[in-house]
Amino acid sequence: MDLGLMASSLPKLLSAAVITLKLLSASLLIGLFIGLLFAILRLSKNSIINRFAYTYSYIFRGTPLLVQIFIIYYGLGQIEYFRTTFLWVIFKEPYWCAIIAFALNTGAYTSEILRSAFQTIKPGIIEAGKSLGISNKIIFYKIQIPVAIRQSLPAYGNEIILMMKGTSLASTVTLMDITGVAKHIVSTTYKPLEIFITAGAIYLFMTFLIHNLIKYLEKKYSFQ
C-alpha cells in the first residue's frame, strides 16, 4: 500500500469534490422542484395528467441513470435539427447534460417520495384548516407541503445519498469530478487500489455528513 501516493493524491481529489458538490446541489435543487410538481400531478384526479406524471416517474425510475446520461449527452447530439435550436448551447456542454440527467432522475424518485408523504397526511389536519375558513390554496402551501416535507425527510435523505454516489457517473461524460480525477491519476500511476480507496473515503465522509444533517433536520422538525 503506497501511503505516500494516497496522501499526495488527496488534495487533487478534494478539489474535484467541489465539482461533485456542485453537481449534487444543482441536481437536487432542480429535482426537488420537478419532484414537487409531478407529485402534485400524480395526486390529480384527471386521469390524463395522472398517467403523464406516472409515465415520467416510471421511465426515469425504471432505466439506469447511466443510460439516461448517455441518451442526453450523446443521443440528442445526433439529432441534426436539435443542434440548430437554442437548446444546443446547453446540451453541448457535458456539465449541463449531467445536471439535467441527474435532476430528471432524482425528480422522478422525489415525486414518489412526496406523493407518498402527501397521501399519509391525516384528513383531520386539512379539515381543521377548512373549519377555520382557510382557503384550499393556503392549506396546501402552508400546511400540506410543510407536513409532507417533514414526513419525507428520512426517505429523501436516502435519495440525497444515492444521488451523491450517482454523481460519480459524471466522469463518463468527461467531467473531472472525484471519480474522473481518480481515473486520471490511476491512468498515470497504475495504482488503482490506493487511489480508489482514497476517493471512496471522500465519498464515505460526504455520506456521513449528509446522514447526520438529515438526522438533525428530522429531530428539529419532528412533531412533538
Query: pLDDT for 114-138, tens place per residue?
Result: 999 888 887 777 777 777 777 778 8
- Burial class (CB within 10 angstroms; exposed 0-12, middle 13-18, buried 19+) of 158: middle
State residue 224's pLDDT score. 47
Q: Rounded to whole angstroms, how far apart are CA atoms 17 and 182? A: 11
In whole angstroms, what is the distance from residue 110 CA to residue 35 CA? 5
**pLDDT value, residue 126:** 76
**Cβ atoms of residues 26 and 93 within 8 Å:** no
Q: How far apart are CA 59 and CA 191, in angstroms?
A: 38
Query: What pLDDT, on the 0 to 100 scale, is given for residue 197?
Result: 96
**Residue listed under C-alpha cell 488534495:** 11
pLDDT digits (tens, 9 = 90+) for 50-69: 999 999 999 999 999 999 99
Give residue for cell 419532528: 222
Residues of the chain with pLDDT under 50: 224
The per-residue pLDDT for 60 is 96
Question: Nearest-CA neighbor of 68 among 164, 175, 170?
Answer: 170
Cα distances from 179 to residues 108, 144, 146, 168, 196, in angstroms, run 25, 39, 36, 6, 8
Provide the pLDDT for residue 217: 87
Rg of the chain on CA atoms, in Å: 21
In this prediction, residue 223 carries a pLDDT of 53
